[in-house]
C-alpha cells in the first residue's frame, strides 16, 4: 500500500497568514494526488485534484504543487473559514489518505 505522510500534524496561524502543508508519498505517484478540506460535522470537500488543479468553486487562494513523492498545498492568505483539517489522497494504486493536518487559529 502507498502510505501518505502529512506534516505538520497541526499548524497554528492567524487570518491573513500563509499556510504551507506537506504530503509525502511512500513511492512514486506521478501527480495522482488530491487535497480535501474537512470541517467539523461535514464530509471532506475536494479542493485540488491531479496535484495542482482546483476543483469547481474553490477560491484561487488555494494552490497545489508537486509530483513524484512530494506535494504541497498552499493557502496564500488564510480566511476565517479556512481553519479546518486538510487531507491528501493518492489514486495511483487504489486510494489512500494521509492522516491529516489541522489548521487552527493562533
Partner 1 sequence: EVQLVESGGGLGQPGRSLRLSCIASGFTFEDYAMHWVRQSPAKGLEWVASIAGNSGSIAYADSVKGRFTISRDNANNSLALQMASLRPDDSALYYCAKAQSLRWNAHFGSWGQGILVTVSS
The residues that touch partner 1, with contacts defined as CB under 8 A, are: 34, 36, 42-46, 49-50, 55, 87, 89, 91, 94-97, 99-100
Give the 3-state secondary structure of residue 63: strand
Output 19 or 90, the one with its CB closest to partner 1.
90
Output 49 or 71, the one with its CB closest to partner 1.
49
- 20 CB contacts (<8 Å, ≥6 apart)? 72, 73, 74
Matching residue, cell 469547481: 56
Minimal distance in Å, beta carbon 21 to partner 1?
16
* Upper half-sphere CA count for residue 74 (Cβ side, 13 Å): 11
Minimal distance in Å, beta carbon 48 to partner 1?
9
Amino acid at each position: 500500500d502507498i502510505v501518505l505522510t502529512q506534516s505538520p500534524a497541526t499548524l497554528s496561524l492567524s487570518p491573513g497568514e500563509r499556510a504551507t502543508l506537506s504530503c509525502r508519498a511512500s513511492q512514486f505517484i506521478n501527480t495522482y494526488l488530491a487535497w480535501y478540506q474537512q470541517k467539523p460535522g461535514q464530509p471532506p470537500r475536494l479542493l485540488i485534484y491531479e496535484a495542482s488543479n482546483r476543483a469547481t468553486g474553490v477560491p484561487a487562494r488555494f494552490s497545489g504543487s508537486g509530483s513524484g513523492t512530494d506535494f504541497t498545498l498552499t493557502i496564500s492568505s488564510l480566511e476565517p473559514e479556512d481553519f479546518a483539517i486538510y487531507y491528501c489522497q493518492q489514486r495511483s494504486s487504489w486510494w489512500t489518505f494521509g492522516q491529516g493536518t489541522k489548521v487552527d487559529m493562533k
